Amino acid sequence: MIKSVILAAGKGTRMKSQTPKVLHKIFEKPLLGYVLDNVKNIADESFVIVGHHAEQVTEYVEKNYSSAKTVLQSPQLGTGHAVSMVCPHLENFDGQVIILCGDTPLIKEETLKDFIEYHNSQNSDLTVMSTVFENPTNYGRIIRDTDNSLKCIVEEKDATQEQKTVKEVNAGIYCLNWAKIKPAFSQLTSNNAQGEYYLTDIISWGKKQGLRVNAYILKNSDEIYGINSRQNLATATKIMNDRKLSDLMANGVTIVDPSSTWISEDTQIGSDTTIFPATYIEGENIIGKNCKIGPCAHLRGGVEVADNCKIGNFVELKKAKIDHNTNVGHLSYIGDSELGSNVNIGAGTITANYNPLTKEKSKTVLKNNVKIGSNTVLVAPVTVEEGANIGALSVITKNVSAWALALTRSPQRILENWVTKSLNK
């Protein structure tokens, strides 16, 4: 049995924000969400250590993760003190605990599984994840004994000049055999430059106890990239996006211009689909095979697009389910909607899904073979039955029956010689 502990109590002062650092977003998903998602298939229960703006972080966790709970750290006396907060919750636990940071959204589930497998294969009691940086500034250094075994971790502010030349650094992820390591948390001291209880001190503690202590070297150091500033946030977003685009292209998706295309990690796209430039896709989405998306399309999450569909330029989709062989013309907004197969949406169509007075959102349903003329507004809730046509420039507020034509356009008037008469006045 495995539990996870996620450190998310820090202030994140360099973010210069009223939002807790771990709730800052990449593709509209909080940093903490990425970490929780990457451990949910590994740990049966997660403990999120909260402190700064604890109420906001707790609200997010409780709303989105049933297998996670928050534990308050107050005051915040360091990372070792943070982990000690879960000791009462794991009083009789005899399994493994993995410890992660809530501001490292690039770590992969597969990496965590490999890390735990290494821990087990080495019969370790404690394993720390490390990596090698050419510029290790601000990271705790991995110090090894003469036999190359792990001796301790020294924080940057406590390191000697010689220790600062070490390029192998602490990645901030640990795997513990909890029953053996738990006593360390009542024995940590704060004799350091920060006056804090360092989690890294459990390494030297374990060595003194004669326990098996190892370090697992992570090859792709990008995965433990931490977010401490807006610049870091932008860099992490770029790394995540490049990784996603590479995976998609390797699996048969055409990305016409990777430099201007942004696609969330939680979006699935089928083979032979083409994503045109300046397209931005956030949240969780499923896009089928042989589709064309963009250019300049925006998918905001909760979107399902079946095979052989076209989503045109300057189209925005949000919580929309679109069946196969359907086209959504350019300059359109389709939100909280369900579109059947072989539907054609003319340019400039809007689903008016939001009532600003009640703050409620309603659904638009277009059945198979419906045709919507350009510059139409569909005021939800509304259903257009199979095969119906909507004339251009219509405002549809009532349901439309199958194979009918709906129009709300005013009759056209022509005033003969109006221009000539106006000029001659």
Catalytic residues: 330
User: Does residue 75 have a cis bond before it (omega within 30 degrees)?
Assistant: yes
Amino acid identity for residue 310 in this structure: K
* Of the candidates 277, 251, 248, the residue with the CA atom closest to the CA atom of residue 264: 248
Tokens describing residue 58: 């707790």
Tokens of 159: 């390191």
- What is the β-pairing status of strands 395-396 and 327-328? unpaired
Residue 141 and residue 126: Cα distance in Å, rounded?
17
- CA 152 to mean position of chain CA atoms: 33
Residues 6+ away with beta carbon under 8 Å from 259: none
**What is the DSSP pairing of strand 389-390 with strand 371-372?**
parallel
Contact 405, 425 (CB under 8 A): no
C-beta separation of 148 from 195 below 8 A: no
Nearest CA-CA partner of 349 in 362, 335, 363, 359: 335
3-state secondary structure (DSSP) of residue 196: coil
Could you tell me if 255 and 272 are in contact, meaning their C-beta atoms sit under 8 angstroms apart?
no
> How far apart are alpha carbons 198 and 196 in whole angstroms?
6
Q: Alpha-carbon distance 4 to 332, whole Å?
A: 44
Contact 270, 289 (CB under 8 A): yes
What angle is formed at CA 111 by the lines to CA 108 and CA 116, rounded to 5 degrees?
130
Local structure of residue 183 (DSSP, 8 states): G
What token pair was written down for 177?
């055999």
- d(C-alpha 243, C-alpha 263), whole Å: 10
